[in-house]
Structure 1
Amino acid sequence: MPRVLIADDDPVMRMLLTAVVDNDPALELVGAAEDAPQAVELARQHGPDVVLLDVEMPGGGGPHAAREIKRLSPTTRVLALSAHATGEQRDAMETAGADGYVVKGTPPAEVAKALRGH
C-alpha cells in the first residue's frame, strides 16, 4: 500500500487531496504539508512512498522540496501538482527530479491512480 504525503499551500486543496487518499483503500496518508520546508520535514519523518507536491508553495516552492526529498530518499516518487499542464513550472519540476505530473482539475480517480503508480 503506497504511503502518501500531500503538499499544497491551499488549505482547500489539501483537504480535497486528503479526501482522495482517504477514500482509496489502496492508499495510506502519512501527512499533509502547507509549504516546502514542512514537506521536506514530513518526508524525512515519515518516509512516504509517494509525494504529491504543489509546484508553487512558500519556502522555496515545489522544485526545492522535490530536490531535497529526492536527496533524502531517491526511491520516493515525487509527483508535481500544478494548474498548468506545460511550461516553465513543469520543466523546473522535471529538472528537480519529479517522477510525474498531475494537473489540478484531474478527476479524483485519476489522481488516486497516479498515486498508486498505475
Structure 2
Amino acid sequence: MRVLIADDDPVMRMLLSAVIDADPQLDLVGAAEDATEAIRLATAHTPDVVLLDVEMPGGGGQHAAREIKASRPATRVLALSAHEDGPARDEMRDAGADGYVIKGTPPAEIAKALRGD
C-alpha cells in the first residue's frame, strides 16, 4: 500500500516514516511539509492513502484533503491531529477525510489505520 504523509514538523515526519518503513505492507512514496507539497506529491505519486496533519502551512489539512479527493477520489485520506475532538475533526470530515488519527497513537495502531484494517 502506497502511503504519503504530510506534517510540518520534521520530527513527526521522521517518526511516521519509521512506522511505515517497519510495516512490510506499507510503502512510503512521499513526505510533505505543507499542504501545497502534499497536493503536488499526491498527484505525482498516486498514493493509496494520505496521512495529513490538520494544522500545517499552505492551507492546512482541510485544503489538501479537498484537493486530493477532488483529483483522486479513490485515495483514502486520514487526518492527523493532536486534538481528539473538536471542530478540526468535523472540518476534516467535511473536506473528505476518511478517518482520523490522534498524534501519540501507538505505532501499531497508526499502521493499522493506514492499512485500513
Normalised by the size of structure 2, how large is the TM-score? 0.99
What does 1:1-118 correspond to in 2, within 5 Å? Answer: 2-118=1-117
Secondary structure at 1:66 match in 2: helix
Identity %: 76
| Per-residue deviation, residues 52-108 of structure 1 (Å, max 9, x unmatched) | 000000010000000000011000000000000100100110000000000000000
CA distance in structure 2 between the aligned counterparts of 1:87 and 1:74, rounded to whole angstroms: 25
Secondary structure at 1:51 match in 2: strand
CA distance in structure 2 between the aligned counterparts of 1:115 and 1:88, rounded to whole angstroms: 23
Secondary structure at 2:58 match in 1: coil
- Please identify runs of 4+ aligned residues in structure 1 that moved more than 6 A: none
CA RMSD of aligned residues (A): 0.3
Q: Which runs of 5+ in 2 are unaligned?
A: none
